[in-house]
Amino acid sequence: MTPVFSLRQIGVRFGKGPGALQALRDIDLDIAPGERVALIGANGCGKSTLLRLMHGLLPATSGQTSVDSSVAQAMVFQRPYLMRASAQTNVALGLWLRGTRWKAAKLAAFAALQRVGLADHAPRPAHKLSGGQQQRVALARACAMQPRVLLLDEPTSSLDPHAKREVETLIQQFAADDPGMTLVFASHNLGQVKRLATRVLYLEQGRILADLPVNDFFDSPDLQQQFPQAHAFVKGDLV
């Protein structure tokens, strides 16, 4: 099976000279279609950079990146950018830019908002919705594109508990409705990782230090010996 993403010795560096920041280093990674991959680690470990690299928003400074260009992908950010327009227009615009006629794009956008429980809010200005509602608009916008790969960067971290549950439930529904969809997400919520992921990558200082099936990552008695940094993070000893 051809990987959706294949990364070899990837490095990403911001800036030049002695003050440059090495955000990713020596990343070797294959992600197969249909996998549910969680990226975990402390702030600044490289999770967001890795997601942006996979989505084509950042170039690699070194190494080789192979992405299956035949597979449509979409990304949802921690704080989505929404235009000062209606929720429906925010969702429809991406479809229109892709070549869908505006009337059809508006209809598809309404259906996507209906799917996330926001049909009644379709005409409302998106930037005036609550944080949880805005994130649901972002999910609707991404899933209206019918992606085969969905990338999520801390999609619930800035939400209240009720909104977190709503957004996580929607992600679970999207994954269940399309078992072939590849899901790659960053999260600090280890409970969320257990519920959504089949595979866990632990990053530290731009490197992948552990790559395990989710059950092995959380339940293996050998984690402490084989991956001490990952074990310390899970136990809350490494922040």
DSSP alpha helix (H) spans, the chain: 47-54, 87-97, 102-115, 131-144, 161-177, 190-196, 214-219, 223-226, 228-234
C-alpha–C-alpha distance, residues 180 and 195, integer Å: 17
Across the range 42-55, mean pLDDT stands at: 95
Residue 130: per-residue pLDDT: 92
Inter-residue contact 9 to 26 (CB < 8 Å): yes
Write the pLDDT tens digit of every residue in 151-194: 999 989 888 888 899 999 999 998 888 888 999 999 999 999 99
> d(Cα 239, Cα 4) in Å, to the nearest integer?
31
Cα dist from 40 to 136, 150, 208, whole Å: 23, 17, 10
Tokens of 7: 């990364």
d(CA 87, CA 227): 44
Is the per-residue pLDDT at 226 higher than 90?
no
SS3 of residue 195 by DSSP: helix
86 secondary structure, DSSP code = B
pLDDT of 48 above 70: yes
Q: Looking at residue 239, what is its pLDDT? A: 53
pLDDT, residue 80, reads 87
